[in-house]
Amino acid sequence: MSEEETARTGPVPPRARDLAAATVAHLLVALVPMVLIGLIIWPLGLRPGGSFLTGLGLCIFVGGVPVAELYRTRPPGRRSAAVAGAVVLLAMTLLGGTAGFWISADDHDAGAALGGLAGIPLGAAAFAWRIRHAARAAAA
């Protein structure tokens, strides 16, 4: 692509798998300390309490950094891309919660948390795909 075409269409948004990979890397940075803290306090007789929403909220906050950086560049179609990412995240959380409830009615929170963790990179991929789709449509 020439410099004139790049100036006309703007910067090329990242591919969906690249943004999902960056999101997974950020999630690992958030999850490793949480797991280590849980492993340290568990033998002491303490159990991490609270809802799964606390950990999931922290993971969304930390894992959403690449998505937020892309959103701040103000690409075309960013609002519909944000809705697409949120819908995918919500669908995965509900799917995980439903599967967890079917497996064990007592541990439905764990299923929802795992579904949400799986949904964060998938939501980021949906966000990036929609941004690229809108950029291609604007360039055409």
For 24, the 3-state DSSP assignment is helix
Q: What's residue 135's pLDDT?
A: 87
Q: What region, left, alpha or beta, does residue 94 occupy, with left being phi > 0 and alpha being psi -120 to 50 degrees?
A: alpha
Distance CA 73, CA 68 (A): 9
Distance CA 12, CA 26 (A): 22
Distance CA 82, CA 97 (A): 22
Ranges of the chain with pLDDT below 50:
1, 4-7
Q: Would you say 19 and 70 are in contact if contact means Cβ atoms under 8 Å apart?
A: yes
pTM score, whole prediction:
0.79
